[in-house]
Amino acid sequence: MEDQMLRRVLGERGAFLFTFVLVTLTIMGASAWVITFVWQQVRVDNQLRPDTALSAIYVNFYNPPENYISAESYLAMAAYQREYVRPQNVRVLTGLDTQGVIGYMLNHITAGMSVNCTHCHTLANFAADMWDDPVGMANKQMARLHLQMVRDLNQEWLTQLATLTDRRQPSGAQITCATCHNGVAVPQSYPADQEGVPDDFRLPLDQNVVFSVEQQGILNVNARRDISLDTVQYNQNVMYHMNQSLGVGCTHCHNSRYFPSYEVPTKYYSLNMLQMSQFLVSDYSDALRGQQPSCNLCHQGAAIPPGAARSVDVMPAALVAND
């Protein structure tokens, strides 16, 4: 009825043009709404992702050390560097001159942990191991232990990634202070309130647990009758923990048609990282301050951990593998 009235008033041609304009405006309005909606989502997403170009050292992490270093610390560093061109009492960061050691302390330790020099040193003598601050002295010994741990992880474990499969090569990112600390002096490996798994969930890192391509381990539960439903549930908790920690889905590591297979290269990487975590528990339990490693400790929702060093080129030679 309305169409007939429109034709009488406007005629056949006028009715066609009116309908065409109305439909065009409707489509343009809907398109503008979609474009605006998508742009707002992209803008919000970009706000949640720090610009990786802000730091030449880190992947997706930026924490200027000058926010935490006091004026007294800067003056003390300058005086120490004038007096000692070669650093004194350096046990792990060997091969660096005083300027190189100070650069590492500022860019990696201060930035990685958001602490002042006095967290680990007396400003009267940076080389001292004994002074009137028991907490600072203990922190310095712990820092040395952590540097040894970083060295072992980079030299003995990350170097294995390139040898595990010829289908993919690792990014080359290296472990440093910010990789685990991410701007916090004492990071928490597992949050008190875990999402999607029991709050007391922990990865299976006992030394008798097998993570291997050759042997069936606790994480291979497909089509097996020799395991309980509790084991299957625990397997799912482990997988969910990995998904949440890396911000990925199942197919990041698995062939969705047959989960036990090894077509996906990152599955080899995940086994290597679990073995590395076992190594941390067995060899560096003191450095972990009673905590157990988790995927979230370093990854924090990203496949490449925020706070990882971009490559060996931004790390001291003493802490990485040198070809």
What pLDDT, on the 0 to 100 scale, is given for residue 219?
A: 80
User: Is the pLDDT assigned to residue 308 strictly greater than 60?
Assistant: yes
- pLDDT confidence of 111, banded at 50, 70, 90? very high
Closest listed residue to residue 305, CA positions, set 194, 141, 129, 172: 172
What pLDDT, on the 0 to 100 scale, is given for residue 50?
A: 38
Alpha helices per DSSP H over the chain: 2-48, 71-83, 98-104, 111-113, 134-152, 161-164, 177-181, 229-246, 265-283, 295-299
User: Is the pLDDT assigned to residue 292 strictly greater than 80?
Assistant: yes
User: What does the block give as tokens for 49?
Assistant: 């992702």
Q: Is 130 in a helix, a strand, or coil? A: coil
User: Is the pLDDT assigned to residue 37 strictly greater than 60?
Assistant: no
Angle between helices 265-283 and 134-152 (to 10 degrees): 140
- pLDDT confidence of 42, banded at 50, 70, 90? very low
* Spatial distance between the Cα atoms of 7 and 270, rounded to a whole number of angstroms: 70
